[in-house]
Amino acid sequence: MNIILEEISKIGIVPVIKLEDATNAVPLAKALIEGGIPCAEVTFRTDAAEESIHRIAEGCPDMLVGAGTVLTIEQAERAINAGAKFIVSPGLNPKVVSYCLEKEIPITPGCATPSDIEQAMELGLDVVKFFPAEAAGGLPMIKAMSAPYATIKFMPTGGISLDNLNEYLSYKKVIACGGSWMVKPEMIAARDYAGIAKLAKEAVERMLGFEIAHVGINMENENVADQLSNSLSNLFGFQKKNGSSSIFVGDGLEIMKGKYLGKMGHIAICTNDIIRAVYHLERCGYQFDYDTVKQDVKGQFSAIYFADEFGGFAFHLMQKK
């Protein structure tokens, strides 16, 4: 997958923006960045689109800005010259796709049928836009179409909202979702950048879905750990599960058989997508200890500790099952 598309996959959400006034471009981009989404697809449906892309590319270098609703080679050329890092189109135009590939600019054309996908593959693409997502059958349609095409991934757009975002993102062949609910035209017209930042933050939080998984308590040795776990099991009726290095009491308490990370112990936070969570948290300045990375039985990234402690506890992220 192209490096730009890989970053989009880590971001997870692509706001689709229609700008009528280029003076809104930079403040809007900064609001999205503040809300945790350093990406935007500016639709080429208005006279302000080209200038808006140029202003975002110049004024917000941390923003991954692309052009959407690109229908012709001429539009693609203007968008790329303005600073667009990726191109999105509602349908598959072989001439536009070929032009972008020649310029080494990633393009995700709209595909809604197996024939579309086969044409995209013939052109050398491995990611396509599924559009209009909900009207074209939603996630069940993506799953049905992807079965014969193992190498193709999707970026659905059209009808995506906060309510169905995670339904799409839970499918591993979906790299990201495009949507406009956090950049509503009336909010842009009113210059409600604080409101846009809030909606963007809400979308990221919903996507990552952080929850407390368990609390680990450090004990001096196995005997002390066994005594404590017996006491807690008897007190609350929680079932014990003995492991090699710890004893789980119920689902939420892990009694360590010796001193482990964290002065007091550790707290596990589960997330819908650990790769996206690490990406977003590192953008916020948090650091991780990559020596603590764990993988599941399938070799997938499943857990990692933060580099720092919080309140005497080590914290680690873990992938929800």
The Cα–Cα gap between 216 and 243 comes to 13
Residue type present at position 97: V
3-state helix, strand, coil in the chain (%, to 5): 40, 25, 35
Query: Which residue carries 């080679």 as its tokens?
Result: 73
The Cα–Cα gap between 203 and 59 comes to 24
The Cα–Cα gap between 169 and 237 comes to 37
Among 10, 18, 30, 41, the active-site one is: 41
Residue type present at position 234: N
Q: Is 41 a catalytic residue?
A: yes
Q: Of 107, 123, 26, 13, nearest to 69 (Cα)?
A: 107
Q: Is 129 a catalytic residue?
A: yes
Query: b or e along 308-318 (b: 16 or more beta carbons within 10 Å of the residue's beta carbon)?
Result: eeeeebbbbbb
Among 10, 30, 85, 129, the active-site one is: 129
Point out the residues that are catalytic.
41, 129
